[in-house]
Amino acid sequence: MNVKTTKTLLFILLLGYFGFAVSGNTPSNDEASKDDVLKTDEAIVGNFEAGEERYKKSCINCHGAAGKGAASYPKISGQEISYTISKLETYRDGTKIGPNSSLMIMMAKPLSDEEIADLAAYLKDVTF
Ligand code: HEC
């Protein structure tokens, strides 16, 4: 249900964007060059919404809503992007960090670089 809502929102956003483009208001050069900088400065810029969707699919059960932790599972929100990325890459490599790493290694194996970047972006800024 959540995924559907997100897709509907994305669709509405896209519609808005195209309406804007058709209306003849071309984005200023300033905005275009800002986008370029964002794309070239970092290999992958994580996307908050995509990260949220991924988080709700496979992480929320253990780490709780908004990554605040649940029972014996650690709080993972509010960390620097580089911190979360390096942890997830370590687990994906199959390397243990703490006593319960096998759970996380299993979870991190299927993640792509982009999904890791999205999750890190989401976890850094998510709040209640
Ligand atoms: C089956 C339960 C479970 C699921 C599902 C799960 N985790 Fe974890 N996670 C853990 C446990 C347990 C640890 C601590 C592991 C250890 O001892 O090294 C952990 C640790 C982490 C850490 C490192 C925290 C730190 O500061 O060391 C990150 C980041 C993390 N998880 C992110 C995620 C993300 C992102 C997902 C979804 C793709 C996810 N987890 C899904 C149980 C889970």
pLDDT of residue 45: 87
Which residues approach ligand 1 with their CB closer than 6 A? 58-59, 61-63, 73-74, 76, 84, 87-88, 97-101, 103-104, 107, 119
For residue 104, the CA-to-ligand 1 centroid distance in Å is 5
Q: pLDDT digit string (tens) for 98-126? A: 999 999 999 999 999 999 999 999 999 99
Tracing tokens 């905005």 back to the chain, one arrives at 31
Q: What is the arithmetic mean of pLDDT over 66-89?
A: 90
Tokens found for residue 89: 């890459």
Q: Residue 57's pLDDT is what?
A: 95
Nearest to 47 by CA among 124, 125, 126, 122: 122
User: What spacing in Å lies between the alpha carbon of 60 and ligand 1's midpoint?
Assistant: 10
Cα of 19 to ligand 1 centre, how many Å?
Answer: 42
Q: Is the pLDDT of residue 17 over 70?
A: no
Q: What is the mean pLDDT of the chain?
A: 79
The answer, yes or no, to whether residue 33 has pLDDT greater than 50, is no
Q: Which residues does 48 contact at the CB level (< 8 Å), separation at least 6? A: 118, 121, 122, 125, 126
For residue 76, count other CB atoms closer than 10 A to its CB.
23
* Nearest protein CA to atom 37 of ligand 1, as residue: 59
Closest CA to 46 of 128, 126, 127, 104: 126
Q: Ligand 1, closest atom to CA 123?
A: 35
Share of the chain above pLDDT 70, in %: 66
Residue 40 has pLDDT above 50, yes or no: no
Nearest CA to ligand 1 atom 8: 104
The arithmetic mean of pLDDT across residues 24-40, rounded, is 48
